[in-house]
Structure 1
Amino acid sequence: MTFKSTALAVAISAALCGSAWAVDPQSVRIGDGILFTPTLKVSERYEDNFRALERNEESSWITSIAPSLTLTAEGSKTGYKLNYTTVSDIFHSSRSDDNTDHHLTGEMVAEFNSRNRIKLDAAYHKVEETAAADQNIENDRYSSALVGGLYTFGARSARTQVDLGASYEELRYQNSGNLNADKERDTVALRSTVYYAVTPRTRVLGELRHTDYDYVSYNQRDSKNLALLTGATWDATARTSGTVKIGAERKRFDQSGIDNKSGSMWEAGLSWAPRTYSTFNLHTRRSFDEGEDNASTIRAMSAQLSWEHQWLERLSSTVSLGYVDKEYQDYARDDELTTLGFGLTYAMRRWLDVGIGYKYAENDSTQFNESYTRNIYMLSVTASL
């Protein structure tokens, strides 16, 4: 059986909670340059199809409790950040689906001198998802561990800068039997980017990426991706900023029985603020994603447009529209996911926000029993010190 990807869950969270974290937490100083910041978010939402099924939908009120703890420390040339967030979901109409997710992230930045900087990050996530293709199958239960680093050579004011990045990620499932065992993999990614300033606020770039996917048991999907991109990044005015990368990608499988794949690739993130209180954001991407079901890989194209507006000093809103097209390779399936979301946040106090939100999702699939619609309504309260 198949399970929905995390893309829908991420899109839902972004649309419903886009402005819900507008609180200005008061940190507690626990040492020289060390700050502790706790935050608590409590939400109540109603989902009319929380398993994302085409038929036999299940609905439930869901209570979510999400405390977050953050430690930060800063030195003259270094900075550290450690965050732990846990999200507990209570399904009032299906208590067997109650679950708790855990997210631990860490980050360190250091500037050795004007020409040499480094950023290190690590993360561990343990997640359970209810969106499944068959309500008689257990939920997705998986964990991912990631370590990575980025070294930058070149002064901030220099015409040329170079980024060298590397990361390693492990994806593991905790389902019973061999359910989802074919998705377990180790991923090593390398990246090199050269920037050249053509104006004080605009840089052109060239980027080379190499990614190695090593599956634990399903070796047919072992592959290596190579991508070459060019583009620009700019902050030309107070109103416009963004990064655009366009190029090509090739996926070469280790198994000789699977045809290699190649095609165009792009990534873009644009922000336009016609007013200081109103911002439009556009994010779009086209690339190869890892395969699922019987697909060797998935050619995915996504676009997300959002509008954030501050109506009053205490009242703000977020509207989003998303589209994802997934073309399954070596497998007769094509999915088109459309999402629409709205969120409204009222800042009652510096330390207290109240938000309401709505999300609609519709997946149109050529595969039998994979299409669905989903409505989500939410009320949230976010508090801090």
Structure 2
Amino acid sequence: MSMKFKASSLAAAVSAALCANAWALEPQSIKLSDGLTFTPTLQVSERYDDNFRAVENNEESSWITGITPTFKLAAEGRKSAYALTYSANTDIFHSSHADDNTDHHLTADAGFEFDSRNRLKLAAGYHKIEETASQDQNVENDKYTTANVGGVYTFGARTARTQVDVGANYQELRYQNGDNLNADKERDTTALNSIFYYRVAPKTKALVEARHTDYDYVSNTRLNSNNVALLAGLTWEATAKTTGTVKFGGEKKRFDDSSIDDKSGSMWEVGVEWAPRTYSTFGLNTRRGLDEGDNGASSIESQSTTLSWNHEWLDRLSSNVSYTYTDNEYQDIRRTDKIDTFGLGLTYEMRRWLDIGVGYKYSENDSSVAGESYERNIFSISATASL
């Protein structure tokens, strides 16, 4: 399966879809002292995956029990806020116990408001992941860690006509597979960006954003490169029942190795929510951009679009429907993947502290490379509890 570095994000999105609207839960925190709280939650799920390796031939299926405790420690001051969150996602494969694994996620966030014009947000994280849907699943599941640290500084009052964001983020990707499996994918990523906002209406701002991302590979130095992007667009809040951000522009990828041609193309990022009723929300998210390569490709030109609908049928009953289409064009090799993903979830808020969810997810990859296509069905039921 391609683009392993993004698999953890995809897994989180899939989990959210399967468990439907986990946001219905209203956890109660334990007050440890003035301004310091502790919030534990627990999710237990049972799902059936008819192709958990996401392969075209020799599919393997299994019932999978998921257990995910989450612990959050939060503190708030007059002009600052802090949060430390840890979760452990354990999957037990009843038909293949050799694939049992536990993913670990640790994040730390801090926010500071020095005065009305100066604000700072900091974030750091460490994630240890094992993927059964791996490119080299016949050898060993992908096992990797990511570590990141970054922040965004904002200058300009919230009500001012202009604002500026300046951000930086550093991330490391490392694999723990044996025999140097996946060692060619290990890299360090340094990203810088700046956004200039100009208010054009009471709740609408025009924006211009510049980005620079440097990819430094540990051993596969042939793929060392930097991406430069320039985007312009709008962001707005609660205008005519919609909220969203749209950005359009271009991106160029320059490789340090002169034997690899530079890549360039159009780029966009759109996220819009439309709420015709307070209990019903439609969403559109679409993106086009250059991602890091895999399977011999120097890079991947990726375009994806997600349509979603969240609806509250009753005070305690809500549903989520989503459809995602992804088109990945591998650069410098002959491969194109077209992926369709459909998700359906239903959540019943049994108590303030207990949600029951059922879900279904179907995904299909139509690849131009023989042996890389697949179909996958996942059925699930889950319970999410808090204090």
TM-score computed with the length of structure 1 as normaliser: 0.98
Which residue of 270, 273, 296 corresponds with 1:271?
273
Assess if the C-alpha contact under 8 Å between 1:306 and 1:320 holds in 2: yes
The separation in 2 between residues aligned to 1:10 and 1:85, in whole angstroms, is: 12
Q: 1:197-249 CA distances to partner (integer Å, 9 max, x unpaired)?
A: 00110000000000000000001110000000000001142621100000000
Q: 1:54-110 CA distances to partner (integer Å, 9 max, x unpaired)?
A: 010000000000000001111111011111010000000000000000000111000
Amino acid at match of 1:39: T
Is the counterpart of residue 176 in structure 1 residue 178 in structure 2?
yes
Q: Which residue of 2 aligns with 1:185?
A: 187
The separation in 2 between residues aligned to 1:9 and 1:109, in whole angstroms, is: 27
Q: Which residue of 1 aligns with 2:205?
A: 203
Which segment drifts farther, 12-21 or 47-56? Answer: 12-21
Is the counterpart of residue 312 in structure 1 residue 290 in structure 2?
no
Q: Which residue of 1 aligns with 2:291?
A: 289
Q: 1:5-29 CA distances to partner (integer Å, 9 max, x unpaired)?
A: 5165344223213403421001000
Q: Offset at 1:296?
A: 0.2
The separation in 1 between residues aligned to 2:151 and 2:136, in whole angstroms, is: 39
Q: CA RMSD in A?
A: 1.3
The separation in 1 between residues aligned to 2:278 and 2:371, in whole angstroms, is: 46
Q: How many residues align?
A: 385
The separation in 1 between residues aligned to 2:131 and 2:170, in whole angstroms, is: 24
Q: Offset at 1:134?
A: 5.2
Q: Which residue of 1 aligns with 2:363?
A: 361
Spell out structure 1 runs of 4+ moving beyond 4 A. Answer: 1-5
Q: 1:326-356 CA distances to partner (integer Å, 9 max, x unpaired)?
A: 0000010000110001000001100001100
The separation in 1 between residues aligned to 2:82 and 2:240, in whole angstroms, is: 29
Is the counterpart of residue 20 in structure 1 residue 22 in structure 2?
yes
The separation in 2 between residues aligned to 1:235 and 1:222, in whole angstroms, is: 39
The separation in 2 between residues aligned to 1:268 and 1:73, in whole angstroms, is: 33
The separation in 2 between residues aligned to 1:11 and 1:363, in whole angstroms, is: 17
Assess if the C-alpha contact under 8 Å between 2:20 and 2:357 holds in 1: no
Q: Which residue of 2 aligns with 1:325?
A: 327
TM-score computed with the length of structure 2 as normaliser: 0.97
Q: 1:11 to 1:79 in 2, by over 3 A?
A: closer
Q: Which residue of 1 aligns with 2:159?
A: 157
Q: Offset at 1:281?
A: 1.0
Give ranges in structure 2 of 5+ residues lacking alignment: none
Amino acid at match of 1:299: E
The separation in 1 between residues aligned to 2:45 and 2:268, in whole angstroms, is: 36
Assess if the C-alpha contact under 8 Å between 1:15 and 1:341 holds in 2: yes
Task: Kindly report which structure 2 residues correspond to 1:13-162, keeping only aligned pairs within 5 A, or say none.
Answer: 13-133=15-135, 135-162=137-164
Which residue of 252, 255, 268 corresponds with 2:254?
252
Give ranges in structure 1 of 5+ residues lacking alignment: none
Amino acid at match of 1:79: A
Q: Offset at 1:303?
A: 0.7
Q: Offset at 1:118?
A: 0.3
The separation in 2 between residues aligned to 1:112 and 1:184, in whole angstroms, is: 38
Task: Kindly report which structure 2 residues correspond to 1:207-222, keeping only aligned pairs within 5 A, or say none.
Answer: 207-222=209-224
Q: 1:31-71 CA distances to partner (integer Å, 9 max, x unpaired)?
A: 11001000000000000000001010000000000000001
Q: Which residue of 2 aligns with 1:383?
A: 385
Q: 1:338 to 1:11 in 2, by over 3 A?
A: farther
